[in-house]
Amino acid sequence: MTATLFANARLLDGTTDREGHVLVEDGRIREISDKPLNSAAARTVDLRGRTLMPGLIDAHVHVIASEVNLARHALLPDALVAFRAAKIMHGMLMRGFTTLRDLGGATNGLRLARDEGHFDAPRMIICGKAISATGGHSDGRGRHDSRDMAYLEARLGCLGRLADGVDAVRRACREEIKAGADYIKIMANGGVASPTDPIAFLGYSKDEMRAAVEEAAMAQTYVAAHLYTDEAIARAVECGVHSLEHCNLITEATARTAAKAGAIACPTLVTYEALKSEGASLGLDAVSVGKIDTVRLAGLESLEKMHRAGLTMAFGTDLLGEMHRHQSDEFTIRGRVLPAIEVIRSTTIHAAKLLRMEGQVGTLAAGAFADLIVVDGDPLKDLSLLTNQGRHLPAIMLDGRFVKDQLAA
């Protein structure tokens, strides 16, 4: 494997911001130094005036979601869903995202295809199917649809599965972990893109949530929960849920409780902006469109509350269908109310902590995967340099290999 020496780079990963030199060998960062490095075998690239960062991490995506209408999407042929997912993930990679955490839908088979090199895509952390109660956020059937969910759950295009009662939740968790899930995802609140659950609905009883948390703990992992309302978030934290998705309607008091418990939040504000402007035209039903503002209008305020409370926040987007192209806009949305360094940390060190991949991704450190991006300019002064479909990223490296290279030798 070709070695690369990045010289005279500004190094930025959320913990360091300095000038330095980085040697990449065999897919890893071999050495970082404040002094010039030498390697006869390496291609040397002078990054003076540019910023070198670890590859970005999106901790809340749905890579199989190629359409906004998820009920219709669940009926698509598996092969079509898989090929579309490969294209969606390649788009993420070209925006600088080298690691992603899928929150429902991606399978171990899709990850194996990526790992075998059938397509270029970010590293994948998966939960398999998201687990929901009947009528909850994974139930795409309308009020008059009495089809058995088992048929839909078996399809790649279906993001979730149903489990009612403690025993059923336990079995669902065990089946997803057996199938290759890295963690468990449950739906603990109502949602926008589902037809029969208003936002305030509490998706699971405490006993059911505790069962999921126990099953995850026995498998040496954690539970992520779809959550909007303060009541739902407080219940989830009480039950031991670690990863708090969305959190638009959280109070500062609950955010402090969550922070004390060691939980991590993963807001996803860009999806509500995109759904508001494009959802209906892309097939989102009227009931779902009517629920968007309930969570959208509170988004920025929720970031301020969580920041003041000291609750760690990872970077997430949660986009669907053609709206995946807005992925990087999450940076500038967060930058309206948060310090730029906190936004950078959300997609590097904080996200790596949530994924339990500290020291491997989201960092510029010896031994870490050589997943790197080069930025023209200073993202701390202008977060929009991380947007525009990778326009300001002349180089993207994955596992020590350039997947985009517009650098002069």
| SS3 state of residue 94 | helix
* Helix-, strand-, coil-residue percentages of the chain, each rounded to 5: 35, 25, 45
- Give the pLDDT confidence score for residue 95 in this predicted structure: 98
Per-residue pLDDT of 358-394, as tens digits, reads 999 999 999 999 999 999 999 999 999 999 999 999 9
The band of 409, judged by pLDDT with boundaries at 50, 70 and 90, is low
CB atoms closer than 10 angstroms to residue 179: 13
- Give the pLDDT confidence score for residue 137 in this predicted structure: 84
- Give the pLDDT confidence score for residue 148 in this predicted structure: 80
Per-residue pLDDT of 270-313, as tens digits, reads 998 887 878 777 776 676 677 677 767 788 999 999 999 999 99
Please name the residue that has the structure tokens 């948060």. Answer: 338
**Under 8 Å between Cβ of 107 and 131:** no
DSSP assignment, residue 355?
Answer: T
